[in-house]
Amino acid sequence: MAVAVPPGRAAGSGWAWRPVARDALLARAFHSCTELRGRFYLVGGLLAGGTREPSSDTVVFDPARGQAVRLGSRGSPPRSHHDAAPVGGRWLCVVGGWDGSRRLATVTALDTERGVWEAWTATPGDCPPTGLSSHTCTRISDRELQVAGREGGIHTQRRYGSIYTLRLDPSARTYCYKQEGCHIASRSGHCAALLQTPGPHPGHQLLLFGGCNLAEPEVARHWSHGKIKEEPPVAPHLMEKLARLVSSGQGSQKGPHGLRHHSCSVVGPFAVLFGGETLTRARDTICNDLYIYDTRTSPPLWFHFPCADRGMKRVGHRTCLWNDQLYLVGGFGEDGRTASPQVCILDFLI
């Protein structure tokens, strides 16, 4: 049962995470959290640090009411370190992840209209990855996702990663992987952002952040003008507030070095990254920093906004956009073992 949270802020310089709800059902990390029809769908994850057994729960959080309920439908897949994407305003497609014994590349979908989980079928010609975990899955359209990251387990990793186009047919409940010819840096626990390229005829590029020792984002794919359908901004007021925040900071061409298992949300021309685990320190590895990648300039600039509140350190969490607000859901705290039951929204103090 979600409870009201007294006023309070975990503040940085000009920004803060403001708690808006708290529920034990939401306490998990390395889950997926996807907005669909004004609800946040949390699938699986790890309920405590040190366990290898993922949860098979699906929890639906209503941000308007601040209430969470466990979905009672059968077939909810045990998953962690997976990713998910909304399709057709109806299906929640869960791609890959760890099921407690192996890494998968399958697609399992929740039909939110019927409240039923379905195992979709690979079509002939499908060339799936060896197995996916801590990868990214980015929606390009209702029939196409881009999957990026390392394949297989720790002992079978290549020195590079792969990009796959995952084509979906919701009416037939089928999917098909196609490996693209390009290679990327070997990444795990990274994030991906589909952003417009600057200029009078903007295209789109898929950028990968973190998940390895590189600080620079990597362009995984590029689409010329008109190849991807333009969509109106989903958070215009939040975009304005982010613009004011970066105007108060000092930009740099160097981003966070060696960050993984952080969150990332795209807000207009900005990629907003928070938290994660740094590979650059042996101790105190879990972070609570806010990074904003601003593509309005050429070259794009990074803005770093630290947070003094150690209670907001997060790893394996998610951020989600709804109603012109950015929500923070779940994740392990500073000890890397205790999952947060809080939901917070990003506030601005400027």
40-52 pLDDT, tens digit per residue, is 999 999 999 999 9
Report the DSSP beta bridge partners of residue 29: 46
Residue 77 falls inside a structural domain: yes
* Stated pTM of the model: 0.94
Which amino acid would we find at residue 171?
A: S
| Structure-block tokens of residue 130 | 């060896």
Residue 305 falls inside a structural domain: yes
pLDDT at residue 7 above 50?
no
What is the pLDDT of the chain when averaged over all its residues?
Answer: 92
Residue 4 falls inside a structural domain: no
- pLDDT confidence band for 12 (50 / 70 / 90): low
| Structure-block tokens of residue 162 | 């792969």
% of the chain at pLDDT higher than 70: 95
Residue 196 falls inside a structural domain: yes
In three-state form (DSSP H/G/I as H, E/B as E, the rest C), the secondary structure along 158-178 is CCEEEEEEEEEECCCCEEEEE
Q: 251: domain range?
A: 15-348
Residue 1 falls inside a structural domain: no
Residue 182 falls inside a structural domain: yes
> How much is the pLDDT for 58?
97
> How much is the pLDDT for 6?
41
Residue 3 falls inside a structural domain: no
pLDDT at residue 9 above 80?
no
184-198 pLDDT, tens digit per residue, is 999 999 999 999 997
Number of domains within the chain: 1
How far is it, in rounded angstroms, from Cα 312 to Cα 49? Answer: 17
Q: What is the dihedral of CA 77, 64, 322, 312, to 10 degrees?
A: -80
Q: 327 near 320, Cβ under 8 Å?
A: yes
- pLDDT confidence band for 31 (50 / 70 / 90): very high
Among 2-6, 34-38, 236-240, which is the least confidently predicted range? 2-6
> How much is the pLDDT for 152?
64
Residue 130: which CATH number?
2.120.10.80
Residue 6 falls inside a structural domain: no
Secondary element (H or E) of residue 241: helix 236-247
How far is it, in rounded angstroms, from Cα 89 to Cα 76? Answer: 19
Among 36, 34, 10, 4, CA closest to 346:
10
